[in-house]
Amino acid sequence: MAPANRRSASSSVIAAIHHPLRRRLIDLLGVDGPATASQLAGRTGELVGNISHHLKVLAAAEVIEEAPELAKNRRERWWRSAHQSYSWSVADAEGEPAGELIATVAEERNVTHHADKVRAWFDLRHEYDQEWSRAAFASDSWLRLTPERLAELGDRIGDLIQEYYENPSTEPSATPVYVFAHGVPARP
């Protein structure tokens, strides 16, 4: 069973998500919560007009949505994430060359995005208390599974992450933590 708030992604959604600035906007809205284009421009160092353009692309793909209840007037537009996560497979686009290409490029960008988050931690961990260094983890294992059991493992990991998403730590020491996992057939 897919976790709540996970959306299967079409090639148009995948293309919208995997632009570097749009990916950063999605991350900011997901971690920091709703924001205006001006606030996002301040956080990214980009021009408000550029941010507005990318927000419109994300809204058209239904990746983000307006949060009109936060606006102080009719001119102010607030945005929030529409979904916690997305899932897709290159196999979903089989027989559609453009869709296969988009999904393949997105997979590559995802791996780079994941690795960049870990590399950033390596560069900045000296700024954190030692307990954060002790708590951070990496794990890898060789398993022998069928496709069905690999899908089950992915679902169970997704359910566990969803549990932590729905019950976040509220202590003052809580900070955003990036978690990802890959399970793929491979050879040593």
Please write the tens of the pLDDT for every residue from 1-15: 444 555 677 888 888
State the CATH class of domain 6-129. Answer: mainly alpha
Residue 6: predicted pLDDT: 54
Question: What's the pLDDT at 85?
Answer: 80
Indicate whether 73 pLDDT > 80.
yes
pLDDT in tens, 111-125: 999 999 999 999 999
Average of pLDDT values for 55-68?
95
> What's the pLDDT score for residue 1?
40
Q: Indicate yes or no: pTM above 0.75.
A: yes
Domain extent listing, the chain: 6-129
> pLDDT value at position 3?
46
Q: HEC states along the chain?
A: CCCCCEEECCHHHHHHHCCHHHHHHHHHHHHHCCEEHHHHHHHHCCCHHHHHHHHHHHHHCCCEEECHHHCCCCCCCEEEECCCEEECCHHHHCCCHHHHHHHHHHHHHHHHHHHHHHHHHHHHHHHCCHHHHHHCCCCCCCCCCCHHHHHHHHHHHHHHHHHHHHCCCCCCCCCCCCCCCCCCCCCC
pLDDT in tens, 152-179: 999 999 899 999 999 999 999 999 999 9
Please provide the average confidence, as pLDDT, over all residues in the chain.
91
Span 139-151, pLDDT tens digits? 999 999 999 999 9
